[in-house]
Amino acid sequence: MNRTRCHHYACTRLTAAIDCGKRKQIFFKCLKPMEEGGCMTIDELLDALASQTGRTPNPEQRTVMEHNDGPLWVIAGPGTGKTYALILRCLYLLCLCHVPPEAIVLTTFTRKAAEELKQRLHEAILRLSVVFLEMSAIDVSQMRVGTLHSLC
């Protein structure tokens, strides 16, 4: 056992390495259940969010949420769920990957969209903290959210 980043649940808890063989990748499984301070799974996060909002992600939104290969650029038309996908992505990074809020940058093209992102992310954290009390410690105000011009 070693303390390393868990790829499957994306945590920094005690983990055990499992060699996947064909892919030559190592996946990690969290050894501590959630109630003992272990990891939250993607399904637990989505179930809690669905119970609070009545909404579940479509396959494309889930792909955005689970992206783990560098920066992510989401391009889609109006009304396709981009904001919800970005909220899911942030929740994934904050809750499952334990990325500090100050390490996350969200950019949009308008100030209105940036304010909506901040508001919806804050509301999601508040709703989820009813189920997962440790989420109330996440300070969304430390995230950098704004237009490309306001952040540069």
- Taking only the tens place, the pLDDT of each residue in 122-145 is 999 998 888 888 888 888 889 999
What proportion of the chain, given as a percentage, has pLDDT over 70? 74
Hey, where are the domains in the chain?
1-39, 40-151
Nearest 10 degrees: CA dihedral of 84, 73, 65, 26?
180
pLDDT of residue 12: 37
pLDDT of residue 39: 65
Q: Residue 31: how many CB atoms within 10 A of its CB?
A: 14
User: How do residues 21-44 score in pLDDT, each as one tens digit?
Assistant: 333 233 333 334 444 445 678 888
Interval 72-79 mean pLDDT: 84
Contact between residue 138 and residue 125 where contact means Cβ atoms under 8 Å apart: yes
Q: Domain 40-151 is of which CATH architecture?
A: 3-Layer(aba) Sandwich (3.40)
Contact between residue 39 and residue 98 where contact means Cβ atoms under 8 Å apart: no
Helix (H, G, I), strand (E, B) or coil at 128: helix
Select the more confidently predicted residue: 7 or 94: 94
Strand partners, 14: 3
Is the per-residue pLDDT at 91 higher than 60?
yes
pLDDT of residue 2: 34
Contact between residue 117 and residue 145 where contact means Cβ atoms under 8 Å apart: yes
Is the per-residue pLDDT at 112 higher than 60?
yes
